[in-house]
Structure 1
Amino acid sequence: MMQAEGTPWWEQPYRIVQTNLRLIDAGLDPLALARQVREFGATALTFNVGGIFAFYPTELPLQARNPLLTRDLTGDMLKAARAEGLRMIGRFDLSKGTRVAYEAHPEWFVHNEAGEPQEYNGTYQACVNGGWAHDYAHRILDEALKRYDLDGVFFNMTGYQPVDYSGRYRGICHCRNCQTGFQEMFGRALPTREEFSDPAFADYLEFKKRTSRAASQKLYDTVKRLRPETGVMGNGHGSYDFMRLEIQRAVSRPAPEWPHQPGELTRWAASIGRGKPYSCASTNFLDYQWRYASETPHNHLLRLGQQIAGGAQIDYYLFGTFDQENTEPLEPVRQFMHWHARNGQHLTGTVSGAKVALYHSRAADLHAGATATGKLRTNAFRGAYRLLLEARIPFDFVSDQVMGDADIAAKLAQYDAILLPSTTCLSDAEAAVLDAFVAQGGTLIATGETGLYDEHGGKRDEFALRSLPVTRVSHAASTLETYVRIGEDELDFPHTRLLHLDGWYWHADRRDAAGCMLTLLPQPKYGPPELCFDELEPDSNPGVVSQSFGAGRTHYLPWLPEWLYFRDGLPEHRELVAQLVGAASQPPVKLLGAGPVEITLRVKDRGAGERVVHVVNYAGQRQSAYEEPPALHGLRLGIHRAAGEVRLLVDGSTLTLSGCDGEGYSWVDLPPVKYFEAVVLPAATA
């Protein structure tokens, strides 16, 4: 397998098959499996090595050996992988131990406040702060990596896991290590419940973050000490060389299934990865309780289409081996793998060409329970995600986790506009960076409680952002059932003058230079029908407050149109935000025609080289069902500053762009799009 000299293999295009082995798989044929993986189109295999059970003849007394093992399965698999030209990633599950380890050192493992261990099917959850994580896990790595020249390592289920495989919440760990560590760090006792009503809970979130990062760094350092050339696959938290996230259903989540999980994960990975490669493993099965029930092939192809549209590498996760009870997804995924192998040079090593960003705040997610609108947080964010996607605006994430980077100003400078959907929790440092972005010419669009809390969920007296056209909230209404009126000369709404508003509205003090658009109407009667008409004049409460700040501009919406869009899906709320975005940013690509599609733009050489437009078809998704999508006809793609020919990687045809229109776009009619299409464009013209 060839690679550029001095370039790690994980920085080349890769396609991984992960086999999560059972004890009964100890008798598998490594040569046959390696051949199957290669013929499937993969370049690497993730394979069990050690942790809970060793799939090699371990000599460590507290690491249980697979009782069905009759050979050095790890060693034989590594040889077979090498013979087939595959990379091998060793899978370690260091999150648990068996009874032999627990009985030898119960203090290494999680115990709840009542002193009960977190046991499941004879395995015991290891505490992040205990001796299993701090010492014995590293002895396992030392033994395995000295024996096997693995190309990569993957650590399963690292960090705090208070919920078991059955979805049962088992409680906060109150082992002696956690109690002592928390007392030393914060000078107080551990919380008894994971709720903000417990005054110690906000500190506990910080405790988990610090200790998890320290544990991750220690694992990374151990691998690099033993084998510097071995790549560490991480989950985005802590230290790693390349990132591996996971796409799966959880039937416990509220229906319907969120169909944009793959795109959301890839955008998050790109936003926090600082240029490191990333993949999102598509689980072959439905959910953990039903590991033998396969997803539909149509769901897998929708997932894969979103992933390549977001610049991700490819990872496919099998429970067991290719010997599946339901084999229906395997052939379509195999075909995709081979298509990716033929076209990988256009699909990997790219960066986003989007000019719009959606702000992703982990602090706001973690501290949602401390805020007034915490229960709306997820759906407000997803409403903003949907409205940008369904307005066909290419967009990225900007993550709060990189706002302290030295080059953050340069990273933000690539965007014309950033949307903050009720991003409740902002630190002073974050606010300063965002204010500087506006001052340099950017546009911020913020809704609801954005910046009314600090990064720990503490309530602020004023908005954190100086660039906002409002200073403080005088009072908030939470149960309104009314409308926002669009004035005759406001925005472009030829067919409606009203946007419905349900729930929250924040009455905020405006800065002297602020201007206003749209008007909140007094709450009308809604029954009986004979009495449903306006009796009162509109008051002075606006739907949008705006101001210039330095060379840029900010818009504040004192309500939650993005949350309403998630719930109700009326296009007026989408168009309101899209028009504010459009006033600040000319899209690099446009797509016309009917159908539920996503469009993204990827570029080579940091924007100076080849461009690839991805079109993803969601027509096969209905609620939680993923079926064969109808091909979408009549789509027309417009590219700004382009001329010449374009090549379609799925259809295989080459098409010629039309001449530029008055806005600088050249157009091409796309052939029918089934699952997705990738359109290779020439580099942008001057």
Structure 2
Amino acid sequence: MRNGILLLYLFLQTTYLSAQNHTNLWWKRNNLRVIQMNLPAYEAATINADSIVTDLVACSANTLLINAGGIMAFYPTKLDSHYRNPYLKDNQVLADVVRKCHEKGIKVIVRFDFSRVHESIFKAHPDWCYISPKGERIINTDMYVVSINAPYVQEKAFSIIEEVISTFPIDGIFLNMPGYQVNNPYEGKYHGIDQNIYDKKRFAEFSGGKALPVEENKADPLFQQYLEFKKATVEEWSEKLHKLVKSKNEQIAICTYSDKFVDIIRHESQSMTTLPYWPYTASDNVGNAVNSFPEHIISNASIQQISFQSRYNAVEPEETRIRLYENIANGSGLDMSMMGDMRGYEDERSFPVFQKVYGFHKKNESYFGKYRSVAKIAVVAPGAWPNGEPMQEYRGIQLMLREAHIPFDIVEDGQIAHLAGKVKGYKLIILPEITYLKPEAVRVLQEASAQGTHLIATNRTLFDNPDALNQLFGAKIEKKDNDGTGNYLVPDDRSVFKRFKGQNMLFWKFNLGLYDLSGADRKLLPVLAKGRPGPPEIIGGHDRTGYYALGIKNHPKSKAALFPVNLGRIYYMHGYQEHKNLLLDVIGHLLPEAAQTVQTNAPARVETVLKEFTKNTPENAGKTASDGQILHLINLTGFSGNTYFEPLPVHDLQFRITLAKKPRKVFTLTDHKPLHFTWKDGAINVSLARLAEFESIVMEW
């Protein structure tokens, strides 16, 4: 009996210490203020530890991300397979940077990039490097892209990482450009699936003897198997790295762009080269990551360079400011990536922004980073890095909700099955052209619908799963791709469409799917024919076609609405209010309470982000109970569509905010001044006299 009690005590003690150690991992505090200094090779000759630390302290940064190795070593490596930076003169500079950062309480994450090797290594080991189906190499000056399954990545990379960990007391490692390479992003050229001999051999082992595909064709079963192969091999490498790093020191954080065997998921807000610009990039990135991977810490970097071809020109300071405030509001720390160190920088315009926003975060960090969502709506994202038409559809739906001040979460499509409980807790889920979902994800949506969650889907959502499309929405596809230019929609049912006073025909453009909606309980938005284009004398002929642009199917506890049209894309690209109003009216019909969480007279260009918070202090590390709610206000009035100006001050803002209970006090975070409020019927009414660039209204219990 005594031995049993002793064993139980030891088990509980071990479990407690394990939980304590997990809680005490330094990055778990989620208060990162990162500055990444992406050092060109030649700066190794001039970087100075004292100036780097001085600049970090001036910016209130608590984490430095700086080069260590991979493409080239920024320290005196002893490994033959690790090309040493020829400009490196001071062999102690990296050691000095780490030591002096630690003296100021600044963590150091070192950067590795194992995507390329110097030509000297290529000449000695050409079989380590990428080769295209046409026999081409991917080359940037004297650097050659490697193959992930060849010995350099599979063996030498681990030796390099182990050497750095053994030499320097670092706090984390960051992996740049991990995984399979098929593009030369620095020149904007696609080369194709790697045909390296090691890839061929390993894929044959994985697939039972099959040859590598040479084309990326999603309809090809061989390519689908190749995608599974890539996922499996990347995860296997990541697991091996995780075991190596944690065996050396569990306090070393692993940071990269994926989620498996990673401590910090990094994302990037980058400048856009095509219009329309997207001012919500940080809210989009962080919102997606924190809800799709709730066990991870997220760090979204504001990439200062305009493009790979224009690295020495930074984005506008106001764009940087918006990104950083959106990071704070959505639950990420601060993160900025620049070329080189801060001395003699080619574009210093954003330096005052870094100092101000990072300083604000440092002063008020107890109100950031421990958030829970209050959203009743989830928008499903087409992956972590959406692109093309699905991205436009997805962003358009987001834009409608953000401008209407309706809180929502973002959940990545591939994570639905892993977050079944969370997904089923939403009252409305929106699927903007989510064209493919795994069977288990479809089952989660079906179960959510059966339990009372409403659904709204747009355009080609679930086109490849006709059974689910019919079961959920009562729809069958007759023609999913159909140019809607010239057609009109009629908002005929004014019990649903309440925002169309003085308008009874809505123009259309982009895709207008022709669907059989006979399985739906209501068919709305009759589609009118294109009619007769030409001079005014002959136009007309817009007769009803028999098709509809909206079907609503009633389920026992919920409704499911399908817009088989590019509803989000048309608003993202053109911005006509009538198309936004279609979605808002249907949301109002399915979930009237959606617009009641935050009611305000704030302009559409004031972004509102409402979160429940727990004070983020060391003593609260294990606390989960709420300390109140916080409403972040980001002033985007300076965004004109194709550039960023200083925001215009906004005056006399009124808010009615639904709360779980009456707050003990309400105040502004920028100056900690109290705000007068009234409490009635589960909501507070509060006003803000003036909004400059940013404000947070704290409502503490």
Same fold by TM (over 0.5)? yes
Tell me the secondary structure at the aligned position of residue 393 of structure 1: coil
Structure 1 residue 287, shift from structure 2 partner: 1.9
**Is the CA contact 1:467–1:549 (under 8 Å) kept in the aligned structure 2?**
no
Q: What pairs up with 1:466-481 in 2 under 5 angstroms?
A: 467-476=471-480, 478-480=482-484, 481=486
1:464 is matched with 468
Going from structure 1 to structure 2, the CA distance change for 1:477 and 1:341 (only over 3 Å counts) comes to closer
2:495 corresponds to 1:490: yes
Query: Would you say how many aligned residue pairs link Structure 1 and Structure 2?
Result: 658
Offset at residue 51 of structure 1 (A): 1.2
Give the corresponding residue for 2:455: 444
Q: How far 1:243 moved relative to its partner?
A: 1.4
Change (3 A) 1:118 1:535: closer
Q: Shift in Å at residue 467 of structure 1? A: 4.5
Taking the aligned partners of 2:457 and 2:566, their CA distance within structure 1 comes to 10
- 2:7 maps to none
Question: Which range is displaced more, 430-439 or 603-612?
Answer: 603-612
Q: CA deviation at 1:161?
A: 2.5
Summarize the alignment of residues 589-668 of structure 1 with structure 2, pairs less than 5 Å apart: 589-605=598-614, 608-641=626-659, 643-644=662-663, 645-660=665-680, 664-668=682-686
Q: 1:543 aligns with which of 535, 538, 549?
A: 549
Deviation at 1:527, TM superposition (A): 2.7
Specify the alignment match of 2:37 in structure 1: 19
Per-residue deviation, 1:153 = 0.8
Segment of structure 1 superposing worse, 488-497 or 84-93:
488-497
Structure 1 residues 279-298: aligned runs within 5 Å: 279-298=299-318
Structure 2 Cα separation of the partners of residues 597 and 275 of structure 1: 30
Distance across 1 between alignment mates of 2:374 and 2:293: 17
CA apart distance, 1:363: 9.9
Q: Which residue of 1 aligns with 2:13?
A: none
Aligned to 2:401: 388
Which residue identity lines up with residue 490 of structure 2 in the other structure? Answer: R
Q: How does 1:555-570 map to 2 (within 5 A)?
A: 555-570=561-576
- Match status 1:84 vs 2:89: no
State the shift of 1:419 in Å: 0.5
CA distance in 2, matches of 1:591, 1:146: 56
Cα offset for 1:518? 2.8
Q: Which amino acid in the other structure matches residue 78 of structure 2?
A: E
- Of 436-445 and 573-582, more deviation after overlay is shown by 573-582
Structure 2 residue 437 is matched with structure 1 residue 426: yes
Shift in Å, 1:238 = 2.9
Give the Cα separation in 2 of the matches to 1:9 and 1:415.
32
Equivalent residues of 1:448, 1:505 under 8 A apart: yes
| Range with greater deviation from structure 2 (438-447 or 514-523) | 514-523
Q: Secondary structure at the match of 1:670?
A: strand
Match of 2:347 in 1: 326
Deviation at 1:364, TM superposition (A): 11
CA contact (8 A) 1:463 1:470 kept: no
Rounded to whole Å, the distance in 2 between the matches of 1:669 and 1:363 is 37
- CA deviation profile, 1:398-446 (whole Å, cap 9, x unmatched): 22222232xx232123321111112111222111100111111111001
TM-superposed CA distance for 1:534, in Å, is 4.8
Quote the Cα distance in structure 2 between the aligned partners of 1:389 and 1:489. Answer: 24
Residues 158 and 472 (structure 1), Cα distance of their counterparts in 2 relative to 1, 3 Å cut: same
Per-residue deviation, residues 344-398 of structure 1 (Å, max 9, x unmatched)? 11121112221111111339969xxxxxxxx632211121121111222111112
1:670 to 685, 688, 693: 688
Asked if the contact 1:62/1:100 (under 8 Å) is kept, the reply is no
Instruction: Name the CA shift for 1:544/1:609 in 2 (closer, same or farther; >3 Å).
Output: farther
Q: 2:240 aligns with which of 209, 218, 221?
A: 218
Query: What does residue range 158-557 of structure 1 map to in structure 2 within 5 Å?
Result: 158-164=178-184, 165-186=186-207, 187-196=209-218, 200-251=222-273, 254-323=274-343, 324-362=345-383, 376-405=389-418, 408-453=419-464, 460=465, 462-465=466-469, 467-476=471-480, 478-480=482-484, 481-491=486-496, 492-493=498-499, 494-510=501-517, 512=519, 514-534=521-541, 536=543, 538-557=544-563
Look up the equivalent residue of 1:221 and give its one-letter code. Answer: K
Look up the match of 2:6: none
Unaligned runs of 5+ in 1: 367-374, 454-459
Measured in 2, the distance between the counterparts of 1:44 and 1:506 equals: 50
Measured in 1, the distance between the counterparts of 2:512 and 2:51 equals: 63
What do residues 159-190 of structure 1 show as CA deviations (whole Å, max 9, x unaligned)? Answer: 12322222222332111112223333345433
SS at match of 1:563: helix
Counterpart Cα distance in 2 of 1:196 and 1:21: 38
Equivalents in 2 of 1:673, 1:201: separation in Å?
Answer: 52
Q: What is the alpha-carbon distance in structure 1 between the residues aligned to residue 519 and residue 71 of structure 2?
A: 63
Q: Which residue of structure 1 aligns with residue 583 of structure 2?
A: 577
**Deviation for aligned residue 1:574:** 1.0
CA-CA distance at 1:195 after TM superposition: 4.4
TM-score (norm 1): 0.90
Q: Helix, strand or coil for the counterpart of 2:285?
A: helix
How far the C-alpha of 1:488 sits from its partner, in A, is 4.9
Contact 2:176 2:256 in 1 (8 A): no
Cα gap change, 1:589 to 1:365, in 2 (>3 Å): closer
| Superposition deviation, residue 16 in structure 1 | 1.0
Task: Give the Cα–Cα distance (whole angstroms) in 2 for the partners of residues 466 and 506 of structure 1.
Answer: 15
For the residues of structure 2 that align with 1:380 and 1:526, how far apart are their CA atoms? Answer: 28
Compared with structure 1, are the counterparts of its residues 275 and 592 closer, same or farther at alpha carbon in structure 2 (3 Å cutoff)? farther
Q: Distance in 1 between matches of 2:370 and 2:605?
A: 27
The SS at the match of 2:573 is helix
Question: What SS does the corresponding residue of 2:513 show, helix, strand or coil?
Answer: strand
Q: Deviation digits for residues 62-89 of structure 1, max 9, x if unmatched?
A: 1012223232222121111111111111
Q: Secondary structure at the match of 1:478?
A: coil
Report the AA paired with residue 10 of structure 1. Answer: W
Is the contact made by 2:510 and 2:570 (CA closer than 8 Å) also made in structure 1? no
The answer on whether the counterparts of 1:504 and 1:559 sit within 8 Å (CA) in structure 2 is: yes
